Every structure is written in structure tokens, then in C-alpha cells.
Structure 1
Amino acid sequence: MKLILSEDKFCYESQRINALKKLEILDTPPDGKFDKITKLTAQLLDMPIAIITLVDTDRIWFKSRYGLDAHEIGRDPGLCASAILSDDLYLIENAKKDIRALANPLVAGSFGLRFYAAVPIQTKDGYNLGTLCVIDKKSRKLDNAKKELLHNLADIVMDQMDLRMDARKAYRYQQQLMYTTAHDLKNPLSLMPLLADMIVRQKDNPKAIEEIGLQIKDAGKRMNRLITELLESAEEDNGKIQLRLKSIDLTEMVKGIVDSNMVRARNKKQNILFHSEKDIILFADHQRLTEIIDNLINNAIKFSPFEKNIYVTIRSEKKFAVVTIKDEGQGLTTDDKKNLFKKFTSLSAKPTGDEISTGLGLSIVKDYVDAHNGRITAISEGKGKGSTFILKLPLSEN
């Protein structure tokens, strides 16, 4: 039996209220799923009243009630407020003879409460948000089978609240995904008609047309990267990451990725300086590993100012290959480091050449690194002091 000691009450209560608020369920409209639970509870326990209560700072709000018209009552004094102080069943079989209930207005007043039984609705973190309770206006007994049943039904209430919150998060995620896609595709798409007009005007200038063609190609690559990241993110959310492992020469792979990013770096007058030890062999997924390295180098270009250096090095360290991408860019704040690998996170650094940023790239990188049993960390001395990403992947044993 867990009891909240007086010295811990303030801290626990503050955290409990935060957990309740995060569920975003207070003052929401009636929900048939919860109404079915209260009706079922009353029928199975043969009680006239069953309520799903949530204990707020100054009130006890009813998410669902069966056999009662009220929507909420004051918290103090309140039986439910007392019931959430313990994980066990809170049982009053005869309120007129129970010292815990004598002063309660529902007992002393016209309502005439005589029987009360409640089980806390508890989160996975151990916070009692409210109760599933049953009430009668006459004294009752509750056998062990019905006590267990009340516990199980309270667990179902918590499960339903978690499912409801998960559904809300999924909906918000979908909305954010749609907004991000529309916003980030708009930039390269809006560029296409302008470039087409330039081709018409420069039709007698082969060099200009070649340059415009490269810009169109780059815009297409930007859109392809965005769509690829969104699709890969969706695959991760559905648990569909499947690695196709094979022996890979890491030095050769990274050199190819560096070369493919040279044009983008030169457009910003940046230098990519590459150094590697020889014969570093990994057993990895070629496509996923390419995405990891390319994303990190692309970010270094994207978030570094013009005329800066980017350093890419490869070395071996015990049983790991270590790839380091260091830039002279905008650096990372303390908050940036906390949120670095989360989806759709807006960091303090902004692209320096009108590039797009989905907020998905690093979250995908982290998932791919984890799938390879590797580690990725970021180091920065602060804003304006550059960033270093360190990728560690297990070396091939053969």
C-alpha cells in the first residue's frame, strides 16, 4: 500500500496535476466509450451510481457518470480526493459509522450517501488522476470478486485515456506532416516556372541554359529529398525499417558522398576537407548508411555560413569506425542538444542559403544509427561556435 507522506505531498500533487493536464481530458464533451464503462460498472457491481472522476486542483470533475446528474463537485472535502492518496481500494461500507465520511456534505446532507467504493485511475508513472467509484444510498458490502472487478475496470479506464491521447497525438502529427510537406515543397516548385521563363529568354545562350538546367536539377533533388525523408519517417513509425547488410568500404563510400556534395558546397564558397584511414570495413546497409552520412554532410553545408570549412574524417577506435563531421557554423544551444534527434524540432540554427529543412533528417539519422547498433552524438561549445557530429558504427569482425 502506497501512502503519500505529508512532506512529499506538495511535490507529488504538482506532478500529478501536470500528468492530468497532459491528457487534455478535463472539460471535454461526453464520450460514449467512457459512458459504457460506467454503465457496465454499475450493472456488474449492482450499484445505482458509477462515476469516472478526475481530481483537479480545486474540484472533482466527472468524465462520465451513470445514475447521477451532477458534472462536478468541490474538491474539499471530497471522498475521491482522499481515495487518490492510496493505490488501494478506498471503501466505506456505512458512511454514518465511518469517521472518514461523517463530515462529508454528501453524507450529512440531503443526498444521503451511505456506501462508497473507489479505485484510483493510475498512470504508468504512478500518478493517481482520479477514481472509478460506485455509490449507493444504503449500506453495502463488497466481496473480493467485485473488488477485483472494480480494479480491472479502473485499469480499462486508464487504458482508454491513453488510447485517446495517442489518437490526438497521431492526428496532430499528421496535420503537422501535411503542413510541413506543403510548405517545403512550395519553394522548389515555385522556382520551376521562373527557371522555365529564363530558358525561353536565354534560348540562344547555351552556357546560361546549362546553368539553369543545373538549378532545375538541384530543385528536383530538393523535392526528392523531402519526399524521401517523409516516406522514411513513415516507415519508421510503422516499424518497417529493414536492413540489407553487406560488407562496405566505409572510406570509399564517404569519399563518394563528399564528392557528390561538392557542387552544393562550392555554391556557398565552402570547402569540404576529407581525411580517412585506409581499409575501414563495415557490415552495414549501404542505402541507410549513405542516408546517414549524406544527411550529416548536407546539414553541415546547409547551416554553415558562406566561405567556411567542413571537416569530414574517418578513423578506427577499438571495435568501432568513427566518422566525424565538423563545421564552422551556427553551433548548438543547450535546448538544441536536448531536442536534436526529435521529429519536427525547430533548432536555433537556420539554413544560410534558402535551403529547406523538414525537421526530420536527424531523427531519421538517429533511427538508422540505432538500427546498426551504433551511436551518434553532437558536440558544440555554444551558439556561433560550430558543431561536431560523431558517428560510431561497429567494425566488421572479418
Structure 2
Amino acid sequence: MLQSANPLSGATINTEASAAPSHAQPLSLDGISKRFGAFTALEQLSLEVRAGELVALLGPSGCGKTTTLRLIAGFEFPDTGAIRIAGRDVTALPPNKRGLGMVFQNYSLFPHLTVAENIAFGLRMTGVPKRQRGERVAHMLDTIRLPAFADRRIAQMSGGQQQRVALARALVTNPSVLLLDEPLGALDKNLRENMQFELKSLQTRLGITSVMVTHDQEEALTMSDRVVVMNHGRILQAGTPNEVYNRPRTRFVAEFLGAANILPFSVLHGEANWLEVAIGKTGTGTPARCRVAHALRHAPSMGAEGSLAVRPEKLRLGEPQPDDIRFEGVVAARVFRGSQHAYRVEVAALGQTLAVYQQATAAALEPGVAASVFISPDDLVVLEPEPHQGAAR
């Protein structure tokens, strides 16, 4: 998590700003790297964040996403590379010279101040006139739909309301880029889901360039325009939520972003955009024709082995479609999840158990029952080998 001795150090100030947010500004990370002694936290990372875009940095603990946010914020400085906002090199500037707004996981609000005073704090510290402060605070209270809460103490606010106040405090300073460090991590599940939509709606309406750090896959998919999946100090894949979820490049991305069935294959014939493969154990696999979603680093040769990914919700029990691939199996387990039945189906031909999610409207199959699993070739994704792995923070 990002930390600072001053709870409001993330709310940097543009004293010439108007009450309305500024025009969106692009953010560029160009070949930044960071080492802590012998430990490599980031390795030649480059990323372009378009003006008005919300990008989520997603990955497990230790992947490098927090280090990346600290570098953007100016709490750390890169060993190599450059950080630019609207084309301006800010690499060597301290946090208060970068024109950023920040929202922390714990919000860092002053409990002894009212809501309005918390929002206005950064404006007051830079000498914005009282009348102008009042106008801008009132504008932000309307924006976050809390106009009647100006005189409330922070302790009298719910978690969701405190989150909105923290966001308003960051936005009232008219930042060029908004940084969000696990902004919904302190909320319970139901409130967090509601706030995902509220925060994304507000960010879209204001059109502010935003970078969010999260380890929550659902949060990243729900809120972001682009998801950047990181591990070991590197970007493994960046794309729209739909692209990254449905067309993962590597096994790590496939398994980190939800559940995935990983199927072994051997190449029967290779083309530019298609592979003829045998799925399953070498020499006994089921033939299939798979579309190659990404340009492969190395063209597979005949007999080469690899892996396919397919999401559990893409598999079907019964109701085959033309060109479907069929596997015979036995239901090993079933769990009811409200809207879904989650199955584990043992498939002898593959030598593994497949995860299958079916809508709960379908008749449930009990463990021990024979079942046919059908897969559309269009839902199979050819995975790249994992890149070289190093350490990251």
C-alpha cells in the first residue's frame, strides 16, 4: 500500500484550477525500472495511459503494481526511464509538483474536521480564497451526492460516504491524473460492488485520467477501461477487460483473472491464424482447429506441445452445437452458487478434471452421473509460454 506521513500528501494542489476538473491529460511511463539493493522491483516497464482513461494495475502481492504507483506519485524515483504527464517530464519532481490527486485505501481523512473542512483542506493550505474554497467544496459535495453532509464529522459517516469524501478531496484540487490505491479495499462486499459502479460513473463523467492499483480481479474488470496484468515486475498483458479475460496470453493471466481450464495439446498442423491440434495426452488427443488470438512469438512446428485455456462458463453439459469438441466424463462434484451450478467433471481422455459452470436454471447433475462436455473451438485460447520470471515488489 502507498503510505505517507501526511494523510493529505496525495492531494496535491493546482492553485490556478477552476472548480471544474481540468481537461484530461495523458500519462506515459517509458522504460522505468526500480531496484532496491539487489532486488529488482520493476524491469523496463512502459505504459501509455490515454487522456480520460481508467487503467487498473492488477496482480498478486509482490508483482510490482504498488511500486509503479509510488513512482508515478513521486514517493519513489526510478533508476531508469521517464515519467511524463501531458508530455511534461515529471520524473525528478516531488509529489507536490506533479499535479496529482490520490485516494488511499484507508482514506486518510481528518476525524476532527467536518466533511467540508476535509475536502477544503488542500485548498486552504495553498491559500485559495475562502469564498472560492466554499464554491469548489459545494460543487464537489454535489458531485459526490452528499450536499447535506457538509457539517458532518467523519466518524458520523458510513464507509461508502467516507470513500466519496476522500475522492472529493482528491478531485477538488483539479488534478491532471488521479491515483487510486486499493480505493474500495476497506468496504464490505455489497458496498464495494455498489461503489465500483459509482466510482467508475464519476470518473467517466469527469473524464479524468486515472490509474488504480488493485488485487481484486472483479474490481479491475468492472471499473477499468484497460486492465494491466503484472507479475514479477513486468507487464504480462494489457487490454480491455473483455480482451484480457477472454483472450489471455499466458497461463498466469488466464488463471489469475478467474477460473480457467488448461488443456494440453500437440500441433498437427500450423497456419498463420489457426492451429490444427490434438487436445490431451500426446498421441491420443482429440483433434480440434483453434484460432490463434495473439501473434505467437514462435510459430509452433508439427508435434510441438503447448497449452489451451477455456473458461468454465464456456463449457456446456449437453446441448451440443455444430463443430463442438466433445469429451465424455463423470461428474465428480457439484456446488450450488445461487445463479450457477459449479461442476467438476473427470475426463479420462484428458487425464484431468474440468471446471464447468452452468446456469442454475438447468437441471442439476449429481456426482457419479456420466456427462458429455462440449467446447466450441472458438472458445479455446492458445497460450504463450510464461516469460522469464524474476523477483518484484
* TM-score of the aligned structures, taking structure 2 as reference length: 0.28
Bigger helix fraction? 1
Q: Compare relative contact order (CA 8 Å, sep 6+) and give the higher one, 1 or 2.
A: 2
